[in-house]
Copies of this chain bind each other. A is one copy, B any other.
Amino acid sequence: MQAQLIALDWGTSSLRAYKLGPAGKVLEQRALSFGIMHLPSESREIAGVRCSDGFELAFDAACGDWLDAVPDLPVIACGMVGSAQGWSEAAYRNTPVDVASLGQALHTVRSLRGVDLHIVPGVIEQVGLPNVMRGEETQVLGVLQGLAAHVLIGLPGSHSKWVEVADGCITHFDTFMTGELFAVLSKHSILGRTQQPCEHFQAEAFDRGVNVALSKDGQRGVLSTLFSARTLGLTAELAADQQPDYLSGLLIGHELAGLPEHAKHKPIVLVGNAPLCARYQRALALCGFAHVSLAQAASERGLWQLAVAAGLTQPVLEA
């Protein structure tokens, strides 16, 4: 089957490359560790020139052989590669955005071998506190097919995103620093000192954390409930190996308590790392969110649609 597009999901810590055929079918894919904070440093010859630029080297490692075989393949990328710390900055686009408007706003950087890399801009919302994302917008656009017209998409992670979509259009989103807070508290605060890791998921401790966040005590906010991860240990109500999952449930519970009330009546779709999505699904049920489903992350599908909207490739149907 003939290759039509190279799609790169290029984040902070990893780089995924897809060779896509007609209708966006994945013909080949590879995962590299060359996120923009972990670029290769060993110089090499590219297109006859000695090169030591990390972005060029990573780009060549990701898809140089595909381009050698078909030099005119279009290439599209999303994620932190378009940030100020990336290869070339693709200015944010304001909400609302959809496939058509983002696809027409791709930012181009020319690689050493003469091939253009088309970078998807991140999205900014400036109503109230500013909010930004880079890469998640492409994941969201990639999962919309077959979903209800109005849906809330949750992307749990270091910086969890909650994205409201109406008729294929990203209208609003929020960011919660839940994952990063869990990590820094576990590694660097007094709470980590009494924690012990546990091989198995401690469901009871996790649920307890969620329920504390939802309780009257929880209304004082996470700055107040956090200390309970220590005091419940002091009072022998929480074993050392239950404390990590208690803290996880507590933080996720506070995140979900911060979702707007109308979210309770909307279909919710979780996208991302499966074990983390399972935690969120469990917590959402405890919080009374009724319509929750999971979707496979699919940046490559979003990238395909954006490339079609940009005219980089044709939405050819399979024969």
Contact = CB atoms under 8 A, between A and B. Distances in A.
Interface of A: 124, 126, 128-132, 159, 174-178, 180-181, 184-185, 187-190, 212, 216-217, 219-228, 231-232, 234-235, 237, 251, 254-255, 257-259
Nearest to A259: B220
B175 A224 contact: yes
A15 to B, nearest CB: 20
A132 B237 CA distance: 14
Contacts of A223: 176-178, 181, 222, 251, 254-255, 258
A180 B189 contact: yes
A255 to B, nearest CB: 5
B177 A232 contact: no
Contact of A132 (B159, B217, B234, B254): B234
Contacts of A177: 189, 223, 226-227
A222 B177 CA distance: 9
A221 B257 contact: yes
A129 B228 contact: yes
A130 B235 contact: yes
A307 to B, nearest CB: 27
Contact of A258 (B126, B188, B224): B224
B188 A187 contact: yes
A267 to B, nearest CB: 21
Contacts of A174: 220, 224
A157 to B, nearest CB: 12
22 contacts: A124-B235, A126-B235, A128-B216, A129-B231, A130-B228, A130-B234, A131-B227, A132-B234, A159-B227, A176-B224, A177-B227, A178-B223, A181-B189, A184-B188, A219-B258, A220-B258, A220-B259, A221-B221, A221-B257, A221-B258, A223-B255, A224-B258
A184 B130 CA distance: 23
Contacts of A255: 221, 223-224
Contacts of A175: 224, 227, 231
Nearest to A158: B190
A131 to B, nearest CB: 6
Nearest to A190: B180
A247 B219 CA distance: 21
Contacts of A132: 231, 234
Nearest to A177: B226
Contacts of A225: 129
A150 B228 CA distance: 26
A212 B176 CA distance: 15
Most-contacted residue by chain B among A132, A181, A212, A223 (CB, 10 A): A223
Nearest to A216: B128
A218 B190 CA distance: 26
